[in-house]
Amino acid sequence: MPSPPDAVCATTGLLNTLSPDEIAGVIGHELAHVRSHDTLTMTITATIAGAISMLAQFGMFFRGGGRGNNGGLGIVGSILMLILAPLAAMIVQMAISRAREYAADNLGARISGRPDALASALVKISRIAEGVPNDTAEAHPTTAPLFIVNPLSGRGMDNLFSTHPSTENRIAALEKLSREMRLDSFGAGAPAGGSRSPGPWG
């Protein structure tokens, strides 16, 4: 049975806030996620991280009940495993998520043909995300990877537990890509425009 087709949608808020070139950059970013099967990748990663956490809990349960001269050391080791194994799995999961965002920015900018427009869109969306509380995302932080920028508060810079790179670092990467594509200027944060090729979006 064939799988249902993937779809990328835009909210009215996005359409009313961004310019056509910026919207093309955002859509390109999301199409890049689809093309790279990032949802599947992150689902598998999250499943493995959850399995590691469960195995650590099982290890604590079974080793904690042992008897012997090294019982004390075994319990200490089990407690450390219970704490460190899920922590390490979560750090790896977040690192993969950040890497996929950089990759989607790169491919999305190539799809739209306008790295500067995607950077401008990221600036606008980040400012809105910082100024408008997202109670739903705060209550369910596991949904953060579904957003184009980190919707959670207190995540102003790259760190081990962030699902997204900082906007500044993403813009720097797009600026580098812009130079590689030999675009004549780069204006992140300014309205996208000019005489350059608008890419496949027309």
Residues acting as catalytic residues: 30
Name residue, tokens 């290890």.
59
Q: What is the DSSP letter of 2?
A: P
Gap between the Cα atoms of 150 and 144, Å rounded: 6
**Cα 163 from chain centroid?**
5
Amino acid at 202: G
Nearest of 155, 190, 182, 185 to residue 169 by alpha carbon: 155
Q: What is the DSSP letter of 134?
A: -
